[in-house]
A and B are shown apart, each in its own frame.
Chain A
């Protein structure tokens, strides 16, 4: 019965071919450092799931942001877990993608024919940092407020364009409701869209080109 159904589905979608290309592809003999990309992907999934759950209660306005976060943490059943997973997952994400990048650099895996995979990876790193920067403001406590004050000031340091940049990021000269809601919008709409798009290209290229082997002495 099941096999008849999968047969029917496979005839129309060739899903087995896709499955085999993704999960049953041949790879060189590699080590545990090669799992960092998959670990980052799993964390991205974790951030997506817990992030979506957080938006069910979080309100991105100055009069509700802090209280709604406190409500999630102390009142909602398992809210502490969902927020905790998102919070610690965010930090771990930065650690993992940096380690992932170091592995690619140290093993020379960015070379031909994998340059484009590397480029998308560099943009993905920037996207992940953007997630961290925008997400940090959302709890709207003292730490987020002052961290964003400092972070946006740093963006304001380049000569000539600095002041414009600072105002554009803050949505004005001060950190206000406008700043909070635009950080929220970037955090939940702009960056996730970019992330999904780039991860799609990144994974396609990995499967298309195959992964690199561990470099050998004298080769």
Chain B
């Protein structure tokens, strides 16, 4: 070892090796994180209004099931996904559109006519006619879509 404050050849090489090695290592780590994390956080779809069908199909006071398909791009594969929406109207003028995805853990809820309730088969979550939780584990009411009516056709806002 040299005098204090004097950089010996040994110390210089040591610092250079650790420095350059650390720099290269950091390059790998940062690249790897971007490579792994960023595609997972990308939204698969842009916001669009999807046409459900005519308003005349909705029976007053009963959630009516509409289905439509959306194009999704997952990785390098394009596929179509079926989406189900329950539409409820109590006055024939205003409409609410509810997702059929249970707010507990994502299973599909069904409208049971006899019981006048939505039930989820996975963990017995029960929702009332407008999607509020009646019993079971769901932490919040069914999610709702923005709805609009144009020329007696129902539209919901999906994606984003």
Contact = CB atoms under 8 A, between A and B. Distances in A.
Interface of A: 49, 53, 56-57, 64, 67-68, 70-71, 75-79, 81-82
Interface in B15-72: 28, 31-32, 34-36, 38-39
Interface of B: 28, 31-32, 34-36, 38-39, 75-77
A64 B39 contact: no
Contact of A79 (B28, B35, B77): B35
B31 A71 contact: no
B1 to A, nearest CB: 14
Nearest to B17: A23
9 contacts: A49-B32, A57-B75, A64-B77, A70-B76, A75-B76, A76-B35, A79-B35, A82-B31, A82-B35
A77 B28 CA distance: 13
Contacts of B31: 78, 81-82
A67 B76 contact: yes
Contacts of A71: 75-76
Q: Which of B28, B36, B76, B77 has the most CB of A within 10 A?
A: B76
Contacts of B34: 77-78
B14 to A, nearest CB: 10
A140 to B, nearest CB: 13
A70 B34 CA distance: 18
A9 B140 CA distance: 51
SS of B interface (majority)? helix
A16 to B, nearest CB: 15
B75 A53 contact: no
B39 A75 contact: yes
Contacts of A77: 34-35, 38-39
B36 A56 contact: yes
A64 B76 contact: yes
A53 B36 contact: yes
A49 B24 CA distance: 13
Contacts of A76: 35, 38-39
A90 to B, nearest CB: 17
Contacts of A49: 28, 32
Nearest to B37: A77
A67 B74 CA distance: 12
B35 A53 contact: yes
Nearest to B32: A53
A70 B32 CA distance: 18
Contacts of B39: 75-77
A68 B76 CA distance: 6
Query: Across chains A and B, which 8 residue pairs bring their CB atoms closest together, nearest first?
Result: A71-B76, A67-B76, A77-B38, A77-B34, A78-B31, A78-B35, A78-B34, A76-B39
A26 to B, nearest CB: 14
Given A64-B76, A77-B38, 15 more contacts: A49-B28, A49-B32, A56-B35, A67-B77, A68-B75, A70-B76, A75-B39, A75-B76, A76-B35, A76-B38, A78-B31, A78-B35, A79-B35, A82-B31, A82-B32
